[in-house]
Structure 1
Amino acid sequence: MLRSLAVTLLLASPALAQEASPPPPPPAAPKAPPKLIVAVAVDQLSADVFAEYRQHFTGGLARLANGVVFPSGYQSHAATETCPGHSTILTGSRPARTGIIANDWIDLKTPRKDKTIYCAEDERVPGSNSSNYTVSPLHLKVPTLGERMRAANPAVRVAAIAGKDRAAVMMSGHKADQVWWWGGKGFVSYAGRTAPEAITRGNAAVDKRLAEAQRPMELPDFCKSRDLAIPIGGGRSVGTGRFERDAGDVRRFRASPEFDMAVVGIAADLRAELKLGEGSATDLLIVGASASDYIGHTYGTEGTEMCLQMVNLDRTLGYLLDILDKTGIDYQVVLTADHGGHDLPERHNMHAIPDAARVEAGMGAKAMGQKVAAKLGMGDAQILWGGNFGDIYVDPALPAKQRQAVTREAIALYRAHPQVAGVFTRAEILATPSPSGPPETWSLIQRARASYFPERSGDFVVALKPRITPISDPTNGSVATHGSFWDYDRRVPILFWRKGLTGFEQPMSVETVDILPTLASVIGLPIPAGEIDGRCLDLDAGPGTTCPAR
């Protein structure tokens, strides 16, 4: 059942219409640069989930797990969300340098009514707002690997396909040849882009798939221990799902293994159509697999839903690698994630983790601002903006003394709350040097510093305590999330694989910003000193090294 589910969608793409087969024996260690780099980002693949299912992988994740493995990779910053995380993977830079501090931030000086800015929008477009926007890489302040490769050699081609616009945009940057993402009814791109045949065929395959109802997936034996219903209120429960859905149910399609199958199928077809890896230069194929994140938010990370997702993602990536093998192209793979994830507190409580809880209602910036305004006799005007943690903004239109009083009272109110671990002011954060050393040893303010970009970040930053889920009511939307300062959201796997590369495992911590300089070293691309935050990782366990002398 699991195999047929994957094949049904993947075989809709001509490039994937071939039977999977074991990879050939590895040749001698490669000397020349690879002809193709395949960069895969799995949205919300925590190091914990990877370790939990690693023993059960038999496909693509199994192959990658036998390559060069860094099980403790870090999205080292505090803003462990999709947009900041993806901005680090192929730039070598933390959010404090990329400028991507969150999925959204507040700009109280923008002339438009909507003061929320989406990370991958161009708010200069007339009529745009943060929920109905024009997708753009405008806010990304640094070049990506693909941009650097193309600047060094115009023959380089870069293509990206992802389940989210912000994943495709933040990894491809400003000058990619092809950038495609799920637009709600199919895969779309920037205005004026002509769809390659791979996109047209892929969208037709998705339409056909969506028109068919899907029966429950077969549950492997090792998933059965996760088959436990977790009540979340409102008559709902999670933990026992098997991805059945009605015909036309796009929401359930997106939060299922089918979604990654579509992305990966189109990626393989796009590579074939563009002949990536077949030219004179090293090309770059970027794949953003987003289903794990939608599944984690909808069902949590420890039920049958995530178990089935890991099984299918492993097989889906296996088909991709098998097809690449058959091309004869020398390709280098890197796989990582934009952030980890935290399971829902109701399941943690059932597993005797009593400190897991949902954030108290009334912790949002607007509600906290109302309390401050009442204390200071300011009426009912909104004076704070933001969420219930992370960047909090104080109304810049307030007179200076009043603004100082609001900031002081708001910080005191947050610091006194039993669910808050720390509050850091703009001045405190900017006075903190950019962190270095093992990321697991960084203080909370150092983690905040790695995310802080003065032009966009808040007047102060709030960190919730560990295992406090910033969702008060799970009955009408997401049941679990990420975004915290803590290692369950920061730790992700980083895997490198290439034929002939000797596999080994490095248990010490590294960062996702180390990926760009490592790949740059593999292809002989110089990176000027001081332009990035990452460092090159040695991928050769033998007497030689990948990295230049330091």
Structure 2
Amino acid sequence: MTLKSISQHRHSTLRRALLSSLVAITLSSTCQITFAANEHGPKIAKAPKLILVLVVDGLPNEQVQRYRHQFGEGGFKRLMEQGAWYGNAHQAHGVTVTAVGHSAVLTGAYPYQHGIIGNSWFDPNTSSSVYCTEDTQHTYIGTETKASDGTSPANLKVSTVGDELRYATGNQSKVLTVSGKDRGAILLAGKTGTAYMLMKKTGGFASSTYYMNQHPAWHTTFHANKPQDRFYGKQWTTMLPEAAYHGDAHDDLVAPANSSSSKRFPYTYDSASGKPDAEYYEKLFTGPYVDELTLDFARAAIDGEQLGNNPAGVTDVLGVSLSSHDYVNHTWGPESKMSHDHLQRLDRLLAKFLSDVDKKVGLDNTLVVLTADHGFANVPEFSKSIKRDANRLDGSKISSALNQHLTEKFGVEKLVRKWSAPYVFFDYSKAEAKGISRADLENTAARFMMSYNGIAATYTRTQFENGQLPNDRISRLMQRAWHKQLSGDLTVVVKPYWYFGSTNSGTSHGTPYTYDTNVPLIIMGKPWIKAGAYGQYAEVMDIAPTLSHLLRIRLPSGSEGRVLTETLK
């Protein structure tokens, strides 16, 4: 190379380095995140003013598909027609419960990383139960706080999109979440957002001392007239003509007269005292009114915090977790008339809310995400009526039988320390003191559990730690759900359409089967997203990296999802 060419090469390298530095400085200083128009190329969309994340608790994707022809114009239909809608999207882990699913949405992480392995779990070090969002260092503001109440994200081990956005903008972006459930709000808010949750004792929304010492003025104004009391004495009954519910499961299957879920339409919101009280506020969760109240509070937060109109010009995040569909499906099942009607009512509530967001912020300035934390199994009685093998399993009884079997086999009592579905915890120290190897204890227990009708698979701690798993979908999902420090020593998976439960009615979720994992995933935002129905496989874990890409911010610390590039303009 000549001296001249060396000089030209160095100057070219210097120019590239200076250009890279200027780009980095520009991105760093404008994490408002406003992208400039390209003078000689296509326009680059400005960053959203608001990221609106809607999580419908307990909504299987099949319900959205099955009832879509009855939706109004402004809710689910608007999102599906104007957004990118994935029909094959999944909560891609094996323990599909509320806390785990909400943790996935904005972390992009699986449980083995984010550390939320259930709604609650057994701590073998303290021999006590741990609630997913409990933190005894903090209390609810102005409301009684019990030891196991959710007050902070202390147990969440990774960052969220909101955390990274606030870091990128010098904490100027606002991240606010609201839910009927503490875990629904806290696990969306991350470490640096602000969460509000509905108090069952008072019917009002409260935050905790983790976030602030006292509520803002707009919060006080919202509660001044006790909006939670306006539903007292109201009845919930069908909204659509009776013919619209043809094909739903008969009430005798989902609400038999001799069951704990025997109540049917009309469902009345009242209490024995004759006035609004804790009994009434708890009743509100099963039906449309807690969701209506949650969306009203979200409207107040948009106004009170100027969400989407941030004075600093940066992007804000509003997370809204709508809790009631989960309560309805637990009580009557997703095949019921009650669940069908509730989804239609939720559709209309969402339509009004999106219309208000359009007026307050502008939907062309808002990126909307809608998903769910998990799906649902059908009520076993309904499954049996259509020739499925289905039932409930009482885990505590099986655990007792396992303990008895191990005692007879090894001559040692209480080798099972705890049953916490889907996990069994062993007393390894007691076994090893008697010369019983961990592998022998685990394998003996696994074989016994497999002898039960309704059990499909078991996985031992040794299998997980050594990666000795079958190469199939269920095994992969269970591996992702298993946390080395927190999860149990034996993991038990039920057969399809079975679940662990001791009641005589209703249904649940929590398995790795598609009826529990397949949830809606819709992203709408005209400047950024190409509308359409997408058949590609996608995961809820893909939401966080996609949002991070659009916002030009660092990925959350545990993110493993992919950017949904096929949807991006």
Shorter chain as denominator, the TM-score bin is 0.7 to 0.9
Deviation (angstroms), 1:461: 0.7
Q: 1:134 to 1:257 in 2, by over 3 A?
A: closer
Q: How does 1:122-161 map to 2 (within 5 A)?
A: 122=135, 132-133=148-149, 135-153=151-169, 154-161=171-178
Q: How does 1:371-382 map to 2 (within 5 A)?
A: 371-379=405-413, 381=414
Counterpart position of 1:182: 198
Q: Which residue among 158, 170, 191 is the counterpart of 2:187? A: 170
Secondary structure of the corresponding residue to residue 475 of structure 2: helix
Q: Which residue among 197, 215, 236 is the counterpart of 1:195? A: 215
Counterpart position of 2:430: 398
Question: Which residue identity is paired with 1:62?
Answer: K
Alignment check: 8 A CA contact 1:117 1:130 kept: no
Larger CA deviation: 353-362 vs 55-64: 353-362
Counterpart position of 2:14: none
Q: How does 1:149-548 map to 2 (within 5 A)?
A: 149-153=165-169, 154-176=171-193, 178-184=194-200, 185=202, 186-191=204-209, 193-203=213-223, 204-214=225-235, 216-220=237-241, 221-226=243-248, 228-231=250-253, 235-236=258-259, 240-247=264-271, 248=276, 249-279=280-310, 280-329=313-362, 330-350=365-385, 352-359=386-393, 363-379=397-413, 381=414, 383-387=416-420, 389-400=421-432, 401-402=435-436, 404=438, 405-432=440-467, 442-474=472-504, 479-500=506-527, 501-527=529-555, 531-538=558-565, 540=567, 545=568
- Report Cα offsets for 1:34-58 as digits up to 9, x if no partner: 1000001110111111111122211
C-alpha distance in structure 1 between counterparts of 2:66 and 2:492, whole Å: 31
Q: 1:194 to 1:224 in 2, by over 3 A?
A: farther
Alignment check: 8 A CA contact 2:138 2:208 kept: no
Alignment check: 8 A CA contact 1:514 1:537 kept: yes
Question: Which residue identity is paired with 1:90?
Answer: L
Q: Which residue among 42, 50, 56 is the counterpart of 2:64? A: 50
C-alpha distance in structure 2 between counterparts of 1:348 and 1:460, whole Å: 28
Q: 1:193 to 1:30 in 2, by over 3 A?
A: farther
Deviation (angstroms), 1:121: 0.9
Listed as ranges, the gaps of 5+ residues in structure 2 are 1-41
Alignment check: 8 A CA contact 1:219 1:242 kept: no
C-alpha distance in structure 2 between counterparts of 1:239 and 1:507, whole Å: 39
Q: 1:312 to 1:98 in 2, by over 3 A?
A: same
C-alpha distance in structure 1 between counterparts of 2:305 and 2:395, whole Å: 51
Q: 1:314 to 1:197 in 2, by over 3 A?
A: farther
Secondary structure of the corresponding residue to residue 277 of structure 1: coil
C-alpha distance in structure 2 between counterparts of 1:382 and 1:129, whole Å: 35
Q: Which residue among 60, 72, 95 is the counterpart of 2:111? A: 95
Secondary structure of the corresponding residue to residue 142 of structure 1: coil
C-alpha distance in structure 1 between counterparts of 2:396 and 2:196, whole Å: 39
Alignment check: 8 A CA contact 2:161 2:555 kept: no
Deviation (angstroms), 1:255: 0.9
C-alpha distance in structure 2 between counterparts of 1:254 and 1:322, whole Å: 24
C-alpha distance in structure 2 between counterparts of 1:251 and 1:353, whole Å: 36
Give yes or no for the alignment of 1:116 onto 2:129: yes
Deviation (angstroms), 1:408: 3.3
C-alpha distance in structure 2 between counterparts of 1:55 and 1:201, whole Å: 39
Deviation (angstroms), 1:449: 0.9
Deviation (angstroms), 1:230: 2.5
C-alpha distance in structure 2 between counterparts of 1:287 and 1:319, whole Å: 14
C-alpha distance in structure 2 between counterparts of 1:364 and 1:502, whole Å: 50
Question: Which residue identity is paired with 1:209?
Answer: R
Q: 1:415 to 1:433 in 2, by over 3 A?
A: closer
Listed as ranges, the gaps of 5+ residues in structure 1 are 1-27, 436-440
Secondary structure of the corresponding residue to residue 492 of structure 1: coil
Deviation (angstroms), 1:384: 3.5
Q: 1:250 to 1:371 in 2, by over 3 A?
A: farther
CA RMSD of aligned residues (A): 2.8
- Report Cα offsets for 1:216-245 as digits up to 9, x if no partner: 343434124426223566723659534333
- Report Cα offsets for 1:488-524 as digits up to 9, x if no partner: 0011110011135441111121011100111112222
Deviation (angstroms), 1:539: 5.4
Question: Which residue identity is paired with 1:57?
Answer: F
Counterpart position of 2:28: none
C-alpha distance in structure 1 between counterparts of 2:207 and 2:217, whole Å: 14
Q: 1:257 to 1:233 in 2, by over 3 A?
A: closer
C-alpha distance in structure 2 between counterparts of 1:363 and 1:465, whole Å: 17
C-alpha distance in structure 1 between counterparts of 2:468 and 2:318, whole Å: 35
- Report Cα offsets for 1:375-426 as digits up to 9, x if no partner: 43334x4624124x42211124414134635433322211222211111111
Alignment check: 8 A CA contact 1:239 1:299 kept: no
Question: Which residue identity is paired with 2:248?
Answer: R
C-alpha distance in structure 2 between counterparts of 1:228 and 1:239, whole Å: 13
Larger CA deviation: 47-56 vs 498-507: 498-507
Q: Which structure would you say has the larger Rg? A: 2
C-alpha distance in structure 1 between counterparts of 2:134 and 2:441, whole Å: 31
Alignment check: 8 A CA contact 2:60 2:374 kept: yes
C-alpha distance in structure 2 between counterparts of 1:276 and 1:118, whole Å: 31
C-alpha distance in structure 2 between counterparts of 1:338 and 1:431, whole Å: 30
Q: 1:172 to 1:97 in 2, by over 3 A?
A: same
Question: Which residue identity is paired with 2:495?
Answer: K
Deviation (angstroms), 1:80: 0.3
C-alpha distance in structure 2 between counterparts of 1:403 and 1:225, whole Å: 54
Q: 1:362 to 1:525 in 2, by over 3 A?
A: closer
C-alpha distance in structure 2 between counterparts of 1:257 and 1:383, whole Å: 42
- Report Cα offsets for 1:265-313 as digits up to 9, x if no partner: 1111111110011121000001010101011111111111111111111
Percent identity reads 27
Secondary structure of the corresponding residue to residue 288 of structure 1: strand
Q: 1:84 to 1:511 in 2, by over 3 A?
A: same
Question: Which residue identity is paired with 1:455?
Answer: Q
Counterpart position of 1:10: none
